[in-house]
Amino acid sequence: MAPETAQVDIGEYKYGFSSPETPIFKTRAGLDEDVVREISAHKNEPQWMLDFRLKAYATFRRKPMPTWGGDLSGIDFESIFYYLKPTEANARSWDDVPDDIKNTFDRLGIPEAEKKYLAGVGAQYESEVIYHSLQKDLEDKGVIFLDTDQALHKHEDLFREHWATIIPPTDNTFAALNSAVWSGGSFIYVPPGVNVELPLQAYFRINAQNMGQFERTLIIVDEGAYVHYVEGCTAPTYSSDSLHSAVVEIVVKKGGRCRYTTIQNWSNNVYNLVTKRAVAYQDATMEWVDGNLGSKLTMKYPAVILKEPGAHGEVLSIAFAGEGQHQDAGAKITHMAPNTTSVITSKSISRGGGRASYRGLLRVNPGAKGAKSKVVCDALILDEHSRSDTYPYINIGENDVDIGHEATVSKLGEEQLFYLRSRGLSESEAAAMIVAGFVEPITKELPLEYAVEMNRLIQLQMEGSVG
């Protein structure tokens, strides 16, 4: 064990380091039609994609900024860099990744994790995916795991069949922005009946200042197939803000199952405004496991559309809002067919003046007979400066349904802390234990390595947070 003095900055954001910026191509700051054209031309895209981008750009300019949720007034769209290509290569081996970038991912532990427990890895740095791998046997079974730009070129038909069908650019302002300037992200296709046992992971890193990262992920799980996709994300701590605005679309066909796990740990200068939505067909299962620990403001409501009978949707989310943070997170479920089921479990923690909001929408369409849904939102407030809000919207258009909603708000109890401290745990250890217990219903759903990581991140957030 290293001496404790080596860890004096414990409780600080651990991933705030940055590397020198050495792009091989970068658009100018700010956004107009020319920038959109430049990105598309640089990527050598087919005409239809350029047309799609330009139309989305027009939509973005037309749409107002959302006024509900978090405070977006701090975003200066003209100072953001929308596209930055860090390196020429999309490497298949870490040895071919430029040293600066490889060092960054080494420090984040990605190559090590890949060796131990992942079936495939994508690593995005700024706007481009710089490394990609997939286990050979999965490739042989027809599994596709590429960055989205490559997929457009290599599998254009499959790509086009699903692209923007679930989240059209007109969906919301930030979906429009993403559609105009998207770059990178993951494209996954799992053929019928194929079970991808180990997780596929993508890691998103912003390094440059005033950067906008707009990855676009499309996952297609064919009939009876299974995949677990995990994404992690970090950024350096800068005094000026960065913007992360992704779009994630998922199709889960008959009897398939997809689990999408996010451990969002952006630095506190990142606006994280992400649209995530899945469609589940007959007897399919879609699960979002969504951990939000970092960022300045997160607005993210993973959605599942239960389109055919027997489909099941689940959203498990943890939001941890520390000093200067606002986590406006939640879930959206739409029951469109009979005998569809859903569960939303949301746990939020706020401390140090942070604000955690649960915002959820549960909709049952007329005719979705026998739909069942359970919503549980629990909030834990660690001190009197912090805030927790719940905005549960429920819209039921069918009588034959079974809907349950529970919400609790609790405060970190002095008696509970004293009890644990009387057993020898320091104040922050005791508080971290209470918080870890509070989020346990969600961490127990994570693969062991991620559960350990999540608890470690919570402990870091908790250091020096009480007393």
Q: Tell me which residues touch another protein (CB under 8 A).
A: 1, 4, 413-416, 418-427, 429-430, 433-434, 436-441
Q: Which structure tokens are listed for 202?
A: 């993508």
Interacting residues of 465 by C-beta distance below 8 A, sequence separation 6+: 11, 322, 351, 352, 382, 383, 428, 431
178-197: buried (b, 16+ CB within 10 Å) or exposed (e) per residue? bbbbbbbbbbbbbeeebebe
Whichever of 130 and 439 has its CB closer to another protein, that residue is 439
CB of 265 to another protein, least distance (A): 21
CB of 415 to another protein, least distance (A): 6
CB of 16 to another protein, least distance (A): 23
CB of 426 to another protein, least distance (A): 5
CB of 76 to another protein, least distance (A): 41
Whichever of 275 and 465 has its CB closer to another protein, that residue is 465
CB of 418 to another protein, least distance (A): 6
- Identify the bridge partners of residue 257 per DSSP, sorted by sequence position: 226, 285
Say how many CA atoms lie within 13 Å of 171 toward its Cβ: 19
Distance in angstroms between the alpha carbons of the first and the last residue of the chain: 26
Count CB-CB contacts under 10 A for residue 211: 25
Whichever of 156 and 463 has its CB closer to another protein, that residue is 463
Whichever of 194 and 430 has its CB closer to another protein, that residue is 430
CB of 349 to another protein, least distance (A): 12
Residue 393's nearest CA partner among 438, 348, 344 is 344
* ∠ Cα 248 250 256 (to 5°): 155
Spatial separation of the C-alpha atoms in residues 438 and 434, rounded to whole Å? 6
CB of 247 to another protein, least distance (A): 34
Q: Which structure tokens are listed for 372?
A: 């069942």
Spatial separation of the C-alpha atoms in residues 135 and 123, rounded to whole Å? 15
Cβ atoms of 317 and 333 closer than 8 Å: no
Cβ atoms of 69 and 328 closer than 8 Å: yes
Count CB-CB contacts under 10 A for residue 170: 16
Task: Give the DSSP letter string of 259-326.
Answer: EEEEEE---TTEEEEEEEEEEE-TT-EEEEEEEE---SEEEE--EEEE-STT-EEEEEEEEEE-TT-E
Whichever of 319 and 439 has its CB closer to another protein, that residue is 439
Whichever of 175 and 462 has its CB closer to another protein, that residue is 462
Phi, psi of 450 (to 5 degrees): -75, -35
CB of 403 to another protein, least distance (A): 25
Whichever of 393 and 419 has its CB closer to another protein, that residue is 419
Whichever of 371 and 435 has its CB closer to another protein, that residue is 435
Spatial separation of the C-alpha atoms in residues 407 and 215, rounded to whole Å? 34
Whichever of 279 and 433 has its CB closer to another protein, that residue is 433
Whichever of 38 and 427 has its CB closer to another protein, that residue is 427
CB of 347 to another protein, least distance (A): 10
